[in-house]
């Protein structure tokens, strides 16, 4: 992209925040040259849900989790993530 605008110098973080809230960054940055950021220490946001399962199914999941020496909730997350990933590859 050509004719990019110059990014102003800001005195404070608040001043910069106000600026970017009211300006389109594509007028100031060539995003085609952007590099992918890797933030390995960030934990993904989570949301608590309520899920009703038959007691027998939950008991079986707990047995499988115990075999793997992990909490059953973690095993459920692993299984769900794996199935979602597999379905996205189809």
**What's the CA gap between 53 and 46, in Å, rounded?**
20
- pLDDT tens-digit series, residues 34-75: 898 888 888 888 899 999 999 999 999 999 999 999 999 999
CB-based contacts of 61, cutoff 8 Å, min separation 6:
53, 72, 75, 76
- Beta carbons of 10 and 16 less than 8 angstroms apart: yes
Contacts of residue 31, defined as CB under 8 A and 6 or more positions apart, other chains included, come to 25
Domains and CATH numbers, the chain: 1-35 (no CATH), 42-90 (1.10.1220)
Helices 55-67 & 72-88, crossing angle to 10 degrees?
Answer: 90
Give the mean pLDDT of the chain.
92
**Does pLDDT of 1 surpass 80?**
no
What pLDDT sits at residue 2?
67
């Amino acid at each position: 992209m050509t004719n990019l605008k110059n990014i102003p110098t800001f005195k404070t973080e608040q001043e910069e925040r106000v600026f970017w809230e009211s300006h389109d960054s594509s007028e100031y940055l060539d995003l085609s040259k952007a590099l992918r950021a890797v933030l390995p220490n960030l934990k993904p946001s989570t949301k608590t849900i309520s899920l009703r399962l038959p007691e027998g199914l939950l008991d079986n999941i707990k047995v499988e989790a115990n075999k793997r020496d992990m909490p059953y909730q973690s095993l459920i997350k692993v299984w769900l993530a794996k199935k979602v990933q597999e379905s996205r590859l189809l």
